[in-house]
A and B are shown apart, each in its own frame.
Chain A
Amino acid sequence: MAADYAYVALFLIVGLLFVVLNIDVLSRIIRPANPTPEKLTTYECGEDPIGGPWLRIHIRYYLFTLMFILFAVETVFLFLWAIVYRSLGLFAFIEMMIFIVILLVGLAYAWAKGALEWV
């Protein structure tokens, strides 16, 4: 079982090596390098940046992420349910519908509260 994932590990490692090889070996040999202070400034269409970008982030991003986590966790259960669905029959259908309806009530609540509005 675990041996099946040898390829996954290898792909991730080779992905890392491929990027490093291209940027820090192959390209480094042939590309020019003459940095100047102006060249290394933050790009903002020619203006000097005022303030940094690491600001407080608007709450709406947080709300959507929270909704995402709710449904992402749920889909993990749904995958397992979908595989064994045929052997479980009506029982599985009713049980999962109860589960989904509870979640949809949550979605409806968020909708009614205006959490799904991007304002």
Chain B
Amino acid sequence: MVSAGALEQFYALFEAWGIPWIVPRLAIMLGVVSIIIGFISVSAMFLIWWERKISAHIQARFGPMRVGGWHGWAQSIADGLKLLLKEDIIPTRADRPVFILAPIVVFAASLATYVVIPFGPGLIVQDLNIGILYIIAISSLTVVGIIMAGWGSNNKYAALGALRSAAQAVSYEVPLVISLLGPLLLVGSLRMTDIVEYQGGTWLGILPGWLIVVQPLAFLIYFTCAVAETNRLPFDIPEAESELVSGFHVEYSGMRFAIFFLAEYANMFVVCAIATTVFLGGWQGPLLAPWVWFLLKTYFLLFVMIWLRWTLARVRVDQLMHVAWKVLLPLAFVNLGITGLLVLVLSPMG
């Protein structure tokens, strides 16, 4: 991480050379974007390999073992190269502009959420003052991309998958947002770094200052909704391989499919990163570097997500809606009300 002073010197240098002020700033910004895209790609490839290994070991198999030598670590790289070499098929009946635009919308939306993810103190692209609201708003755009993909494909499986995905995403977004309000009530700020710094102390002197300690119900609601938002098992009705042959991206092949896949794993990382930031104390932790703590906690939650996949069976669509509207939403409101009341009673007015 470079200090602000060094950055100013860097800008001043370019100004002395008579280069417009925007050039060095744009160069730095492009550098940051490249780092984030690099992180997303590497993280997604690692996650895909990791998921395959965990899935395999849960089922007493080995999973990928050959590519690259040690436990098939290069399997995802090989798969990525294979997808790059695959023919690009756009069905004649597809709505071409919508079909082509859909992966762009999905990927751009998931990339934009990385702007406010706090990897460590100072390791945040831009600490927006509406941080968490911004993430929730931008990540909703993914649904638009999914509907575009389903509609543009002009395929029955894709259309059904997209519709189900939209219904599920909008239903689970409501309890997700309301469950986040409990912690925000305590923090009193939407800025991501403020949320992390609030959790620096301890509860009662012994427990870590993480918000999961005082908001366990909110965490459970949030995590359930997060699993549903990313269309993961047991809430993977939109993709249901056995009936919808993977839903909205059934007509996509080669690199277009790879982009959807990349965005999906990028989104999984984002929802777990939010859970880490809001409930698990973000980068806070002893001994290790802050960004190591952040990644450790986030990848632990991702592991739980993969673990859930092989523990729970897929729910039916009516059960899915039942859980969202009749269980999680009232619970989230109860949590919000109790939190509000306790803050009122326990904390001094200021």
Give me the interface of A with B, judged by CB distance under 8 Å: 4-8, 10-12, 14-16, 18-20, 22-23, 26-28, 30-35, 37, 39-45, 49, 52-55, 57, 61, 64-65, 67-68, 71-72, 75, 78-79, 82-87, 89-90, 93, 96-97, 100, 104, 107, 111, 116-119
Contacts and interface: CB of A to CB of B under 8 A. Distances in A.
A116 B321 contact: yes
A105 to B, nearest CB: 12
A12 B108 contact: yes
A82 B183 CA distance: 9
Interface of B: 29-30, 32-33, 36-37, 84-94, 103-104, 107-112, 114-115, 125-126, 128-129, 133-134, 138, 151, 153-160, 163, 166-167, 170-171, 173-174, 177-178, 181, 184-185, 188-190, 245, 250-251, 254-256, 258-259, 317-318, 320-322, 325-326, 329-330, 333, 336-337, 340-341, 343-344, 347, 349-350
20 contacts: A6-B29, A7-B115, A8-B134, A12-B111, A14-B30, A15-B112, A40-B89, A41-B93, A42-B94, A49-B156, A52-B93, A53-B159, A55-B159, A61-B163, A64-B167, A64-B170, A79-B190, A83-B188, A86-B350, A116-B321
Contacts of B317: 118
A27 to B, nearest CB: 4
Contacts of B154: 42, 52-54
A89 B86 CA distance: 61
Contacts of B37: 14, 18
B156 A44 contact: yes
By secondary structure, the A interface counts as helix
8 nearest A-B residue pairs (beta carbon): A15-B108, A53-B159, A68-B170, A118-B318, A15-B111, A27-B255, A7-B126, A53-B156
